[in-house]
């Protein structure tokens, strides 16, 4: 009788177009926590400076996985394909929605975290809260993310987002005005309790300042604060914080739990979250910054101790100097 029920279940799944073995494997591989990262304008494919917070979360939650949002991240520059800012932003909103919706469909019990930096923060904001974003010709007021997936999102972090406006309950930092695509004064996102958005007054993109270095520095300045907020949201939603092993999901949002480990052991010690230990010292390079005084392993296809990490993802093997920010005009 038991075998007959199993056979009938398998036949039903096959009739519905699903492989029972594949479905079982997919569910078994679902992580407790999955983090999406959306990079800033002109940052190479991968996480950009959003990777700072992404990797903090992965270090805090054992078995957590991460996924970079695949979108142009452009403002008209040839280096990123030439899409103007508005076109890139619209593609980005759809990319966020597609990645989140697809992952939630496969892993409905996984708690999701979204991290967006600069233009990446803008696309996350619009996908999560909805528009309109009139300055970029985006008129859809409804969230692009499906309602079921929205429920699975535990926390949203935006850093340097042009959608920032001072005075909102989820704003953090010294900016009291807003960015070049600021939300209207008094705007309310229906899911704002899950959000924190960071912006300081001297930032020329999320505020009305003139110091581009401010715009580049939120990961260092507010990364730990963002992690504390994320932990409060995840732990309240049933997540469990602990030392983590970094894993990376495919960027199309349909593969979970088959991720590549990006930590390594060198000298008998375990490296964590895109970093590695050498001679007992911990180093991790995230967005071009060194942590612990040692140079961390680069994930863009470099080798450390004979192992390769995530050759198709740029996750912290990039250096972010002033030269990366040239030619923006007023678009970030």
- Alpha-carbon distance 95 to 197, whole Å? 20
* pLDDT (0 to 100) of residue 236: 83
Q: What is the mean pLDDT of residues 53-82?
A: 98
Edge-first strand order for the sheet with 289-291 is: 275-278, 281-286, 289-291
Q: Which residues contact 112 (CB under 8 A, 6 or more apart)?
A: 33, 34, 35, 36, 100, 103, 104, 149, 152, 153, 154
* pLDDT (0 to 100) of residue 19: 53
CB 45 within 8 A of CB 70: yes
Q: Could you give the 3-state DSSP secondary structure of residue 168? A: coil
Mean confidence (pLDDT) of the chain: 77
The pLDDT tens digits of the residues spanning 232-289 come to 999 986 666 654 444 565 443 333 333 333 333 333 333 333 333 333 333 333 333 3
- pLDDT category of residue 126 using cuts at 50, 70 and 90: very high
* pLDDT (0 to 100) of residue 248: 63
The candidate with the shortest Cα–Cα distance to 216, out of 228, 229, 205, 227, is 205
Polymer length of the chain = 332
- Alpha-carbon distance 151 to 108, whole Å? 10
pLDDT above 90 covers a percentage of the chain that reads: 61
Q: What is the mean pLDDT of residues 19-45?
A: 83
CB 240 within 8 A of CB 73: no
The pLDDT tens digits of the residues spanning 90-109 come to 999 999 999 999 999 999 99
Using a 10 angstrom Cβ sphere, with 0-12 exposed, 13-18 middle and 19 or more buried, the burial of residue 55 is buried
Catalytic site residues? 118, 203, 215
Higher pLDDT: 234 or 321? It is 234
pLDDT score of 152 more than 60: yes
CB 115 within 8 A of CB 36: yes
Q: How many CB atoms lie within 10 A of CB 9?
A: 11
* pLDDT (0 to 100) of residue 216: 96
Cα dist from 266 to 148, 259, 292, 306, 310, whole Å: 42, 21, 15, 10, 18
Is the Cα dihedral 299, 302, 306, 308 positive or negative?
A: positive
Kindly report the three-state secondary structure assignment for every residue of 277-290: EECCEEEEEECCEE
pLDDT above 70 covers a percentage of the chain that reads: 63
pLDDT score of 15 more than 50: no
The candidate with the shortest Cα–Cα distance to 175, out of 135, 136, 132, 218, is 218
Higher pLDDT: 192 or 23? It is 192
Q: What is the mean pLDDT of residues 131-147?
A: 95
pLDDT score of 27 more than 80: no
Q: Where are the alpha helices (DSSP H) in the chain?
A: 2-15, 20-28, 51-60, 85-106, 119-129, 147-152, 212-216, 218-236
* pLDDT (0 to 100) of residue 235: 92
* pLDDT (0 to 100) of residue 302: 37
pLDDT score of 173 more than 50: yes
DSSP label of 166: T
Ordered domains of the chain (ranges, CATH): 29-248 (3.40.50.1820), 262-308 (no CATH)
CB 102 within 8 A of CB 130: no
What is the Rg, in whole angstroms, of the alpha carbon atoms belonging to the chain? Answer: 20
CB 116 within 8 A of CB 122: yes
The candidate with the shortest Cα–Cα distance to 37, out of 47, 27, 52, is 47
* pLDDT (0 to 100) of residue 26: 61
Q: What is the mean pLDDT of residues 129-146?
A: 95
Q: Which residues contact 218 (CB under 8 A, 6 or more apart)?
A: 49, 117, 159, 160, 198, 200
pLDDT score of 22 more than 80: no
Highest mean pLDDT among 183-187, 197-201, 290-294: 197-201
CB 292 within 8 A of CB 276: no
Structure tokens at 196: 């924190």
- Alpha-carbon distance 212 to 208, whole Å? 11
* pLDDT (0 to 100) of residue 195: 98
């Amino acid at each position: 009788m038991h075998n007959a029920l199993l056979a009938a279940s398998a036949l039903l799944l096959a009739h519905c177009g699903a492989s029972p073995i594949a479905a079982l494997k997919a569910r078994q591989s679902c992580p407790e926590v999955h983090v999406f990262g959306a990079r800033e304008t002109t940052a190479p494919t991968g996480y950009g400076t959003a990777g700072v917070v992404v990797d903090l979360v992965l270090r805090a939650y054992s078995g957590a996985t991460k996924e970079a949002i695949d979108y142009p991240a452009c403002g008209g520059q040839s280096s990123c394909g030439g899409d103007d800012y508005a076109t890139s932003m619209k593609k980005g909103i759809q990319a966020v929605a597609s990645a989140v919706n697809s992952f939630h469909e496969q892993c409905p019990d996984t708690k999701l975290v979204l991290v967006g930096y600069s233009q990446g923060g803008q696309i996350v904001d619009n996908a999560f809260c909805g528009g309109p974003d009139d300055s970029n010709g985006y008129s859809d007021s409804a969230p692009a993310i499906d309602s079921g997936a929205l429920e699975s999102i535990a926390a949203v972090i935006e850093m340097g987002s042009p959608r920032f406006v001072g005075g909102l309950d989820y704003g953090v930092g010294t900016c009291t005005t807003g960015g070049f695509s600021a939300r209207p004064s008094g705007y309310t996102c229906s899911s704002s309790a899950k959000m924190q958005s960071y912006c300081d007054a001297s930032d020329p993109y999320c505020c009305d300042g003139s110091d581009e270095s401010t715009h580049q520095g939120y990961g260092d300045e507010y990364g730990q604060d963002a992690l504390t907020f994320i932990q409060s949201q995840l732990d309240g939603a049933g997540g469990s914080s602990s030392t983590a092993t970094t894993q990376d999901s495919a960027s199309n949002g349909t593969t979970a739990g088959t991720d590549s480990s990006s930590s390594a052991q060198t000298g008998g010690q375990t490296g964590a979250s895109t970093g590695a230990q050498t001679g007992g010292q911990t180093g991790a390079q995230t967005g071009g910054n060194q942590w612990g005084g040692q140079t961390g392993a680069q994930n863009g296809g470099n080798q450390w101790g004979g192992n390769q990490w995530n050759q198709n993802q740029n996750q912290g093997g990039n250096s972010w100097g002033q030269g990366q920010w040239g030619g923006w005009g007023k678009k970030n």
